[in-house]
A and B are shown apart, each in its own frame.
Chain A
């Protein structure tokens, strides 16, 4: 049951997108998000969708896998859609009591829904095609100029790396403790919400104890290997931009210019 939860969902595959430098991919994702907010008409979205489609195709991540990640946001999607369709004022085309649907309402509802779907699919491509560790490495490098201003880039990246690393460990631990308490007759599946919340105490207390124990062990193991923060630290895999990264970067820039022109002149 608890094994089904996928977090930091990475889809392992051999593709040019997977091989790109994480910094290029992070930039591309940020630009894509900005572009989605520059776009103010449907042809613009069509261009964005085509580019995203091409990226998905090249990355060899199955569409089904991406769609599975969309499930949790379906509710938000329907909610914004419903709000927009009923709330926007304009030329009324359908009415029932206090509810009315306007032409502008439909336009804006569809517009927002498309933007939201593209936004989520686009940003999930980043985590799907980049190993979590590369991602945090990339972030660390991108934030490192701010370290001179006192921004703890290395520390934040290390915290994220550790958090990602221990998600599966803690899930496994939770599974184990839940089973042990079930063996002592715990029932997590019946009763009202208060009963169910109470039933989780026997899981949460041992889980916290385990988490602190794991954290302490890790701190000790890191100190034993002379970890002393980010200053003067070298790395095993130096990040160097290759030709393909530069090509990808130029394509990104071209895409941005195209979107700005499209939004301005159409």
Chain B
């Protein structure tokens, strides 16, 4: 289900002394099955943009067309948007509230008004998809899990709603390297299994370079660039201007004097071998 965002503008506290333009004329397009990475420094409007895509905020002007529906139009029901779009907030583990993991994951599908069998099936599927053992974990309290498990359960709670577009706001923030890798692999698995579109906000340029098909760069509420990771990370100076940087491996290869833009460790290993072999 493709998404087309056109000239999206959002102003907080319009007409008040605290007025603040959070989004200004943001336009971009994502095709079905793509992984879109959004980067930008803190306060550049990323979170505001995500909340618009999920219908939690309404824009002052502009449109968001998901599939064939403009979700900014009045009268579009939130349930309809939820069926299409699933948003995982930053630190989603803070939204867990039920007594057991199973009940917590079932909260979202339950709100969609599905039958009990359907809900059970989705819960089972979602917990497996985030890499947890359903039988072992279903009756445990979400509050006694480890940090990484909590986050996985919280993500499962959104996946269980089977959104056609999955949005993740900094899904790896504050995790140790191992859990960080687990979450990234989980995102890859979800994408491989469902083939749906994934939108990912991250401050980790390495993650974006290795996962995304397309990168959107935000700066002070504006979308200043949109393209493939190769295009975006080839323009290092432009990125530094807006407070961003290259993935460490890209910068390393650049300093070594390897021509071109290297995005992943595997690619770097190969290029370096060629470089010193020659």
| A interface, CB within 8 angstroms of B | 176-177, 179-187, 201-202, 205-206, 209-210
Contact A210 B111 (CB under 8 A): no
Check A183–B87 contact: CB distance below 8 A.
yes
**Residues of chain B lying within 8 A (CB to CB) of residue A186:** 107, 111
Given A179-B56, A179-B89: A184 in contact with B96 (beta carbons within 8 A): no
A55 to chain B, nearest CB (A): 24
Interchain CB contact under 8 A, A209 and B86 = no
B275 located at the interface, meaning its Cβ lies under 8 Å from any Cβ of chain A in the complex: no
- Residues of B near A202 (CB, < 8 A) are 95, 97, 107
Is the CB–CB distance between B56 and A185 below 8 Å? no
Q: With the chains together, A180 CA to B79 CA distance in Å?
A: 14
Kindly identify which residue among A177, A185, A201 contacts B112, using a CB–CB cutoff of 8 Å. A185
For window 88-117 of B, CB contacts with A under 8 Å fall at: 88-89, 92, 94-97, 107-108, 110-112
What distance in Å separates the Cβ of A1 from its nearest Cβ neighbour in chain B?
11
Which of the four size classes fits the interface of chain B?
Answer: 20 to 34
Task: For A176, give the chain B residue with the smallest CB separation.
Answer: B89
How many A-B pairs fall under 8 Å by CB?
55
Q: Which residue of A lies closest to B88 (CB)?
A: A183
Chain B positions within 8 Å of A187 at CB level: 78, 111
Q: Which of B78, B87, B94, B107 contacts A209 (CB 8 A)?
A: B94
Closest to A186 in B: B111
Kindly list chain B residues whose C-beta atoms are within 8 Å of the C-beta of A181: 95
In Å, the complex CA distance between A202 and B54 comes to 19
State whether the Cβ of B82 lies closer than 8 Å to any Cβ in chain A: yes
Q: Answer yes or no: B157 CB below 8 A from chain A CBs.
A: yes
Contact between A179 and B161, CB atoms less than 8 A apart: no
Contact residue among B82, B95, B110, B143 (Cβ-Cβ distance under 8 Å from A180):
B95
B51, B97, B161 — most chain A CB neighbours (10 Å) = B97
Nearest chain B residue, comparing its CB with the CB of A204: B97
Dominant secondary structure at the A interface: helix
In contact, A184 and B111 (Cβ under 8 angstroms): yes
> Assuming A180-B92, A185-B82, is B97 touching A206 (CB within 8 A)?
yes
Could you pull out 5 A-B pairs where Cβ atoms are within 8 angstroms? Answer: A183-B82, A183-B88, A184-B82, A185-B78, A206-B95
Interchain nearest-CB distance for B22 vs A (Å): 13
Assembled-state Cα–Cα distance A120/B76 (Å): 44
Q: Smallest distance from the beta carbon of A169 to chain B beta carbons, Å?
A: 13
Shortest distance in angstroms between A11's beta carbon and chain B's nearest beta carbon? 12
* Interchain CA distance A206-B93 in the complex, whole Å: 9
Chain A nearest CB from B7 CB (Å) reads: 24
Give the docked Cα–Cα distance between A182 and B79 (Å). Answer: 10
- In this assembly, does B158 line the interface, its C-beta being within 8 Å of a C-beta of chain A? yes
| B158 contact set on A, CB distance < 8 A | 183-184
The distance in angstroms between the C-alpha atoms of A84 and B96, with both chains bound, is: 51
A186 CA / B98 CA spacing, docked (Å): 14
For A176, list chain B residues within 8 Å (CB): 89, 94
**A206 surroundings in chain B (CB, below 8 A):** 94-97
Q: List, in ascending order, chain B residues with CB within 8 A of A183's CB.
A: 54, 56, 82, 86-89, 158
A182 to B89, CA, bound (A): 11
Q: Which of B95, B111, B161 has the most chain A CB atoms closer than 10 A to its own CB?
A: B95
Q: Which residues of B contact A205 (CB under 8 A)?
A: 97
Q: Are B78 and A182 in contact (CB-based, < 8 A)?
A: yes
Closest Cβ–Cβ distance, residue B95 to chain A (whole Å): 4
B94 pairs with A177, CB closer than 8 A: yes
CB-contacts of B50-76 with A (<8 A): 51, 54, 56
The docked-state distance in angstroms from the alpha carbon of A123 to that of B94 is 39
Minimum distance in angstroms from B52 CB to a CB of chain A? 12
Cβ of B78: which chain A residues have Cβ within 8 Å of it?
182, 185, 187
Give B112's nearest chain A residue, CB to CB.
A185
A183-B82, A185-B79, A185-B107 given; 6 more Cβ-contact pairs under 8 Å: A177-B95, A180-B89, A180-B95, A183-B54, A185-B82, A186-B107
In chain B, residues 131-184, which have Cβ atoms closer than 8 Å to a Cβ of chain A?
143, 157-158, 161
